[in-house]
Structure 1
Amino acid sequence: MNRARRLSLRSGQAVVTLALLPDVRYAWADAVVASSTGSTANDAPPLAYFLRGVGPAAKPVLHLGWVLAAVCCFVCIVIAVMLGIALFRRRRRQDQEALTSGGGLRFVYVGTALSTVALLAIAVYMLVVLAQVADPPREPALTVTVTAYDWWWKVDYGDGDQQFSTANEIHIPTGVPVLVMLKSADVIHAFWVPQLSGKTQTIPGVVNRQWIQADKPGIYRGQCTQYCGVQHAHMAFEVLAQPQADFERWYSAQQRTAPAPATARAARGAKLFEERCSGCHAVRGSKAAGVQAPDLTHVMSRRLLAAGTLVNSPENLMNWIQHTQEIKPGALMPDMKLSPAEAGDLFAYLSTLR
């Protein structure tokens, strides 16, 4: 197209119109995921899929969960039946005499013995499952460090000059174990990808270990399961499992720094970003080097925004920037007050971070 495109972004009551130059393109993560996994944004499985495991770290835990659920259901049924008998069966005189003479305690002895044996068996089974998932079956092919913040997840890959960070997205190759080092920057959180692993807490000052493995490509939803504040429910993340070749392409692309702004509008947006956002956010290859908020070097390659709260679209991105506290009250990011011209400039710059 030779003419400029116009995109209307509705933010509250105001409508901001951005003139997008022909050379501004987007690399939304839907395209990345569709090419590597055959999935789109609507294909991400809901958290309710915890009833199905797709990796060796999840299946033993899943089976344990079914066993515990069955035991709990059986106990509830037995209690309900006994309660029904007690309510509707009239007690006879000989029953009363049996209770007072001590013979009725045989039921207590038998019930206590059965409960003790059942609890010991369950404890042994739990220890066996714990041993099965404690360590991966072979040397991990990849190690990532995940740090929990209120209320988002920082994901660090590599080390030294090869290190880079993403936010709320963990890319892994399929068919191999991946070691996850878990930290917390503030309070206790809990890392859980129900289809790939059990739950592990992130504790300030402590480094915990978890390993995950996806047997097939896909998008696997994760969630913080330890109440950590007002936006605990909006602290989600995704694990994107890709074939090895696709993962290596993604990994290589993430190591690149952000390109220099190619247009006047993008240059103004970069300057505005450095003035307003660089205290918290980082963009590798620019002067922005904040560490308290997500690294935005490749923000346009991500599927979701705000730790799984919004789909990453142009409208949602600008709405999130300008109305953070309406979308996620209590988040540490304040609302950005931007004029229509400033919004257009900032979006022109952010659209290059792909």
Structure 2
Amino acid sequence: MKRLIRTVCWYTACMLLLAGCSGWQSALDPKGPAAGELAWLIWFFTALCTVVWLLVMAALIMPLARRPAPLGDLLVLEAAAERRKMQIVVAALGATALILVGLTLLSFFANRRLAAIGSDAALTIRVTGHQWWWEVRYENDQPNRILTTANEIHIPAGEPVRLVMTSTDVIHSFWVPNLSGKLDLIPGHENVLDLKADKPGVYRGQCAEFCGAQHANMSTFIIAEPRPVFDAWLKDQLRPAAAPMSAEAKTGHDLFLKRPCAMCHKIGGTIAGGTVAPNLTHIASRQTLAAGTLTMSRGNLAAWIANPQGIKPGAHMPVVRLDGDELNAIVAYLEGLK
């Protein structure tokens, strides 16, 4: 009994510790209906499994705690024990079947509720996984209203959004725990994820399928904003890149277009039209660099351009040889792309 009490106390302490799993990138701190549905299932399954475990432990301990019977009563007790064993086995089988059927039905109806979230989605965003970054394209019936950006996904808070997902290389998995469950991005195939953020905020996501050396450095951020703020952001992002103002930035602009950078990256309003790397039209408006590996700053931008392999080994961005003045000029130019 003492061992049972210690085990129960330990299990309870673990449950209390789990209750503290909230906030930044936590499936137990839902901020949207999809995550809320999944969190409810997690807690229900955990509670039910806890009850089953406690009943099994009680069934194991009760015979051990019982006093041995006198020898003369052994035959009678053995016959009764066999009957009780059969009754317990039948009851356990029946309870197991009911639990499995019940959990299956719960999962089925939960999936139906998850599928209904995006039935009224007015915004469709195509997310493509690359090694190791996310391409984000806002679809629109008007070609001049289509926006392509990278790694950060802005959405209107309180409105359902549909994400259409695929991959260009290997299988990735998109997971923003506070807002939704995981969904795989499979080359040559499209999967759909519907989600909604209940209120404005920044929600971190992560690739949840090992996809290569820099899998751990493939994060994303969903930024939920009030509709007016989101509309203003979208309008700004659809504009061409701002013209360089300072002499240094103008030099950086010319260098960028003459170097291999323009063959991989696109900057709206310039001849840089590459599509194999992130769109840089408004790179300075983003919060991070290299899919969340670095925070956006002049120093980090310079470090990333100077030696991407030192920061993210295996990344497909090559090292471009630049002297100090050339590096500062290109950084000055990119720093003005807001």
Aligned to 1:47: 25
Question: Deviation of residue 266 (structure 1)?
Answer: 2.0
Work out whether 1:296 is the aligned partner of 2:277: no
Which of residues 303, 315, 325 in structure 2 aligns to 1:341?
325
Cα distance in structure 2, aligned partners of 1:348 and 1:129: 50
Give the SS at the match of 1:53: coil
Aligned runs of 1:1-80 on 2, under 5 Å?
A: 46-48=24-26, 50-80=27-57
- Report the Cα distance in structure 2 between the residues aligned to 1:85 and 1:230, rounded to whole angstroms: 52
Question: Which residue of structure 1 lines up, in the alignment, with residue 19 of structure 2?
Answer: none
2:95: which partner in 1?
Answer: 114
Q: Residue 263 of structure 2 corresponds to which residue in structure 1?
A: 279
Correspondence 1:106-255 to 2 at 5 A:
106-136=87-117, 139-159=120-140, 160-255=143-238
Asked if 2 retains the 8 angstrom alpha-carbon contact of 1:98 and 1:104, the reply is: no
- How far did residue 282 of structure 1 move? 1.1
Q: CA deviation at 1:139?
A: 2.0
Q: By how many angstroms is 1:91 displaced?
A: 8.0
Does the CA contact (< 8 Å) of 1:305 and 1:311 recur in 2?
Answer: yes
In 2, distance between residues paired with 1:132 and 1:100?
A: 47
Could you tell me how far 1:119 is from its partner in structure 2?
0.8
| Structure 1 position 104 matched with structure 2 position 81 | no
Check conservation: 2:126, 2:139, Cα contact below 8 A. Answer: no
Aligned counterpart, 2:295: 311
The 1:278/1:113 distance shift into structure 2, 3 A limit, reads same
Tell me if the contact between 2:155 and 2:224 (Cα under 8 Å) persists in the aligned partners.
yes
8 Å Cα contact 2:121-2:160 kept in structure 1: yes
Q: Return the letter of the residue paired with 1:47.
A: Q
Quick one: structure 1 residues 91 and 209, their matched pair in 2 at CA, closer, same or farther if it must change by over 3 Å?
A: farther
TM-score by length of 1: 0.79
- Larger mean CA deviation between 238-247 and 73-82 belongs to 73-82
- Which whole-Å CA distance do the structure 2 matches of 1:267 and 1:98 have between them? 96
Question: 5+ residue gaps in structure 2?
Answer: 1-22
Q: Aligned to 1:47, what secondary structure does the other structure show?
A: coil
- The structural deviation recorded for 1:137 is 6.3
Alpha-carbon separation, structure 2, partners of 1:171 and 1:182: 16
How many positions carry a matched residue from both structures? 309
Deviation at 1:306, TM superposition (A): 1.4
Using the aligned pairs only, state the percent identity: 40
Displacement of 1:248:
0.9
Q: State the shift of 1:80 in Å.
A: 4.3
Q: Please identify the structure whose Cα radius of gyration is greater.
A: 2
Aligned partners of 2:81, 2:305: CA distance in 1, in Å? Answer: 73
Match of 2:193, SS state, is strand
Distance, in Å, in 1 between the alignment partners of 2:198 and 2:58 is 43
Higher relative contact order (CA 8 A, sep 6+): 1
CA–CA separation in structure 2 for the residues paired with 1:209 and 1:280: 28
**TM-score, normalised by the number of residues in structure 2:** 0.83
Structure 1 residues not aligned, in runs of 5+: 1-44
Higher helix fraction: Structure 1 or Structure 2? 2
Deviation at 1:296, TM superposition (A): 0.7
Residue 302 of structure 2 aligns with an amino acid whose one-letter code is M
2:9 matched to which residue of 1? none
RMSD of aligned alpha carbons: 2.5
